[in-house]
Each structure stands twice: as C-alpha cells, then as structure tokens.
Amino acid sequence: MPQQYPFCAVVGADDPDGPFGEMALALLLTTISPEVGGVLVRGEKGTAKSTIVRALAEVLPRIDVVAGDRFSSDPLDDTHLSPDGPFAADAPVESRPVRLVELPVGATEDRVLGSLHLERALSEGRTEYEPGLLARAHRGLLYVDEVNLLHDHLVDVLLDAAAMGRATVERDGVSLTHAARFVLVGTMNPEEGELRPQLLDRFGLSVEVAAPRDPAVRAEVVRRRMAFDADPAGFTTSYAAAQAALTERVRTAQDLVAHVELTDAGLLKIAEVCAAFDVDGLRADIVTARTAVAHAAWQGRDRVVLDDIRAAARLALPHRRRRNPFDAPGMDDDLLDQVLGDDLPEPPEPPEPEPDPDGPGDPGDPGGPESPDGPDGTSSAGDEGTSRPDDVPQDPAPQGDSPGGSGSTVASGQPYRTRLLTARGTGAGEAGRRSRATTERGRRVGSSTTGSGSVHLLETLRAAAPHQAARGRDGGRLLLRPPDLRFATREGKESNLVLFCVDASGSMAARRRMEEVKTAILSLLLDAYRRRDKVGLVTFRGAAAELALPPTHSVDVAARRLEELPAGGRTPLAEGLLEAGRVLAVERLRDPRRRPLLVVVTDGRATSGPDAVDRSRRAADLLAAQGLSSVVVDCESGAMRLGLAGVLAGHLGAEHLPVGEVSAEALADVARAA
C-alpha cells in the first residue's frame, strides 16, 4: 500500500486562519462528533482536498469491533444492528484503524447498498446478502470525490443513511437493515457544477478551499511535497510525533464532547445567529449547536463560549444561505460579529438561603428575597442582553457592474418555469431528468444478456428452463448457469448537453428585447440545472462567433457569462451555427453517450459578410444532416415580422418556439385556447 501523506504536514492544519486550516478543523470536528453530519469541501482543482481527506484516517484513534463481523459492530453497543448478529456477550473483540471508504462517481446503487450474492444464488440456490460500501464505511469515513457529479439518487441514499445512522435494503429478494453511521466527506470543484440547495443543506458543514496566495506559503507546500516524494517513509517518520499528539487530542475531545455544557444563553445566541442569516428550517440551528459543542471539546473546554459559536457558524451556515441555484455560498463576518456581541452571560449562581426567624420575608421588604426587577422597577440584567435579529441591518442589494468592451449590456429579469425541451428518440446516456433513455433506473421494459443493473429473475428462469434436461436435472432445484443470466432493461430519463447559440447582434440590442431574451435563457439554464444537464454557450455578433463557455455542469458560470453578454453589430448567423457544430463535434468525442440539444436564440436575420443568408442556410442544412435535435427560439417582435427564424428552423429540422412561449404557463395558455 503506498505511503499516505501525513495530515500534520499540511500547511496550517491546526490553524483555522491558515490556507487549509478551516478544512482541517471541519474534518476534525465532524470526527469528534459524527452527529454534526459530515463535511462538503468546495475548491478549485489542485488545492489538496483529496490529500487532506485521505490523510485524516491516519490520525483518528483505533476502534474496537466484534471479530469477524462484516458490519464493524461496536462491542459496547447492545443493539447490534448487524445481519451477522446476534453476538455472544463474550464474543472476541479486535482493534483496527478507522476505515476510509472511497465511493467512485460511477458506482451503482447495488454497490452502495449491497445486493443479492449472485454466486451463492446460482451455485447453492439460496438467498444471501452481499454488503455494500455503506456497510464497510460503518464507524468510519465515507469519501466521495467530485460529489457534485454523483447521480442524485445515490446522493439521496448517502445522505439519508448518514442522517438515520442505518441503511435499509429492499431488493432482489433481500430485506434487511444494518447500521451505517459514518462521517460523510464530499469534495467538489464548483466549476464542474453545483449541488442542489436541498442537498447542500444535508451536509453538516461546508468549507471553501483556495490555493494560498502568499509565495512563501506556496513554496513551503511544494518543498514538503517534494520531500515526501523523494523519501515517503522518512518524511512520514519526521511527523510521527505530531501525528500521535493529534490522535491523542482527538481521542480526548471524543471523550469530553458528551460532557460539554451548552447553556440556554448559548443556545439562544445560536438561534439569533441563524435567524439573522435567514436560513431555512431548523437544521442549521441543530448543526451549529452540535458543532459548537464539538469545538469546545476540541479546545478542551467543558462549556460552550462565544468563540465556539463563531467557529461553528462559519462552518455550518455559508452553504445554507444559498437559496437560488445561481447564488454563491458566503458569509458576512461583520454581520456575524454584530449578532454575536461581546460575550455570553454567565449562568446565574444559585442563591444561598439565609435563616429568617420571622419566616419568609415580604416581597416588598428590602430584607426579603429580591424580585427579578431592581429596586427601581428596572431589570437588573441591564441593557447588555443579546441583540435582536430584527435590529441587525441586512445586506444591501448587490449592485451590478457593467462589463467593459463595446456593445450595450442589459440585465435579465426574474427567471420562470419553462416548458420541457427534449432530444428526439431514446438515448442511452447518463441518468438525468430530460429526455427518454435506457438507464439503470426507471420503468422495466425488457431484459438483456449484458448489463450491470439488477437481475431480471423471471427472464433468467425462462432462459434456463429449456436446458434442464440436458443438464441432468431430475427434480429439486433449478440448475442455472452464467449464460442464463438476464439483466433488467429500464427506461427512464437522461441528462443532455444543452448548447445555447445566442444572437448578440444589433438587431437584438433593444433593451426590452434583450431583457426578454436573457430572461428566457436564464430560465432555460435554471431548468438545465434542475435536470442535471451540461450546458455550453456560443455567441455571435459583429463578424465572428465565439465559445463563451465550454460545455460544463456549472450553470451558474453560464448565468454569469450571460449577464455580461453585450449586444451590438452585425449578425454572423452562419459563423454562429458552424461554431456550434464544431463544439458539438469535439464534445461528441469527449462524452459520446451524452446526446446534445442545440438551442439557437435568434430572430433569424443574417447580415454579416457576402451571401450571409445563403451561408447561414447551408450551415443549418449541414447540422440537420447530422440528425441533431435542436430548437430555434424566435426573438422577433413587433408588428412587421419577416418570419426568418421559422425558415431557419425548417432548414435545421428544429422545433420553432417563439420566445414568449418558452414559459410553461404560456404553453398552458396556448393549450387552453386550443
């Protein structure tokens, strides 16, 4: 097994203000208190995200498990939610390191949850459960690199198991539940697309990681990495003492966390912070409270203080402020400091009773027990109470900046729900929510002799039945052979590459028209985000076309490019179509399973260069000959219309869609009128 880069060798690993310190702190806190709910690490490529996560397991204390149990049961846990149980009271116990289980992006649901043991089913005719990755990750770390590229249904499975602490399997004749308490760690590059806000909220903590900008720090990172590559064993040995000390500190914090006190004043302060940042639901409050307790234990305290709440809020709240898919996660430190104030009030000391021979005093008597109010009727607590969320000034609305360059720039309006645009026919691409496709999930429509999905038991039996006599069966169980296996063929939905080819010429530059066009495109981008599509953006104006955004999963980047898009000049329609064709040809080589859907947004005019109209029609005919699915969004408006976009749609073999009918509500109005 290759030598693992030491956790303590990461620059600033124990310093929250260091380049990687906040990430290291979040990982350590969620291992101290797994109830926090895992960590999502967002950052650009090459920022040591995977290196730190893989190194984490090396510094965690060893755990005791029941010997021979495939589900890593805790000997001290009386419930023993393990299919291999029950275990005797004196069952042998073994100690082993915490496991780091990596979940590949291309994993199937069978591999994650487990499934029927096919070899035993075929050779011995009995049903036996083969555990999946969730069982292996119990009481350990489950790491998903590029979690934003993981299929939504697998993300749902992971997060449900992480929240419930168990996994339930109901498939292929198997029905069981096993413990699955693990620390879920996901890393992602935002340039490859975002997680849905609903899924973001299910991660307990979130951190942003960026490469350090200080040349001295960057040089130290490179120096350590080169030293490790030259002598991995020697480099690791040099950090052995620091690793052992960190392991002991984690063990101490794990023992202390159950005894940390979170006062009512601290809990109220957490609620005020969550209310001030306007987060949805109460999960943020719960996670912040658990994280604050874990941070206090990490610092060796038995009571939560203001610094613990501040550290917890910085980790638990930024990704929960993301309401819209195009919003960027963030944290306003000034607002946080204003809500937190200076310090938490100390819990009141219980009063010592004084003997009174005359019995209880009169509340009005100065010698009697004091009332909550002072002698002058005012509160004895003073004016130093916690600040109210209503008194906190809200962030001012962001002001847009007009990008430089020629042409006018118009902002888009409020996006709306769009009608569904799909690719023609039935594909076989990645699972998604747009076009019809043969996928691993969905409605069962048949069977095949090849596949990686669930076994079609009925068709397997049908395939084996004619061969029983030749195989010597004279009664008893059915004799099966590997060629008899049939796998279920299912029809569901796939994701597509939606390539926008946008006319940004002078004929589109009128403010009202460009605003309507940008709003329609933004709405289609939002729809692509929800359907897990890849998107790209080609624009054409003046005398040429350009690829404004190569195909990517990051629709928020596409939205930013759209907002910055200027308009003006002539209309090189042919160049735009040819550039779109070039982009699709390259993408077809990179991702051949993903079918494209070309969305051309134009009024159909072609005014740049000689024979502009004929060249644009020849370019459209060329794309149509490739069998490309496409839609022409007609942006022409006014009383005098030339209908050129409709002609272009005819040459492309595309659906012709007026921009006013992109909205799903407009489609419903048309249907009602018909």
CA distances from 496 to 146, 192, 447 (A): 19, 15, 25
- Closest-CA residue to 156 (of 196, 99, 98, 114): 196
Measured between alpha carbons, how far is 554 from 325 in angstroms, rounded to an integer? 10
Measured between alpha carbons, how far is 151 from 487 in angstroms, rounded to an integer? 21
Read off φ and ψ for residue 548, nearest 5 degrees: -75, -30
Do the Cβ atoms of 608 and 542 come closer than 8 Å? Answer: yes
Burial, 63: exposed, middle or buried (Cβ in 10 Å; 0-12, 13-18, 19+)? Answer: middle
Read off φ and ψ for residue 220, nearest 5 degrees: -65, -40
335 is written with which tokens?
């607002």
Read off φ and ψ for residue 527, nearest 5 degrees: -65, -40
Burial, 196: exposed, middle or buried (Cβ in 10 Å; 0-12, 13-18, 19+)? Answer: middle
What's the N-to-C CA distance of the chain in angstroms? 69
- Closest-CA residue to 599 (of 536, 664, 513): 536
187 is written with which tokens?
């890393």
CA distances from 220 to 182, 377, 541 (A): 33, 63, 47
Measured between alpha carbons, how far is 153 from 461 in angstroms, rounded to an integer? 30
Read off φ and ψ for residue 26, nearest 5 degrees: -60, -45
Do the Cβ atoms of 27 and 54 come closer than 8 Å? Answer: no
Q: Which residues face 493 on adjacent strands? A: 436
Q: How many C-beta atoms lie closer than 10 Å to residue 562's C-beta? A: 23
Q: Which residues face 392 on adjacent strands? A: none
- DSSP result, 351-379: PPP---TT-SPPTTSTTSPPPSB-TTSSB
Name the region of 37 (left: φ>0; alpha: ψ -120 to 50; beta: rest). left
Residue 190 DSSP code: G
Q: Which residues face 501 on adjacent strands? A: 538, 600
Do the Cβ atoms of 89 and 80 come closer than 8 Å? Answer: no
Q: Which segments of 9-71 does DSSP mark as H helices, in order?
A: 21-32, 49-56
Q: Is 323 a known active-site residue?
A: no
- Using DSSP's 3-state secondary structure scheme, residue 666 falls into helix
What sign for the dihedral angle of Cα 608, 614, 618, 621? Answer: positive
Measured between alpha carbons, how far is 303 from 133 in angstroms, rounded to an integer? 37
Annotated catalytic residue, options 70, 111, 171, 283:
283
Q: Which amino acid makes up residue 197?
A: P
Q: How many C-beta atoms lie closer than 10 Å to residue 5's C-beta? A: 22
- DSSP result, 194-242: PPPHHHHTTSSEEEEE-----HHHHHHHHHHHHHHHH-HHHHHHHTHHH
Q: Which amino acid makes up residue 545?
A: A
Q: How many C-beta atoms lie closer than 10 Å to residue 474's C-beta? A: 6
Report, as residue numbers or ranges, the catalytic residues: 283
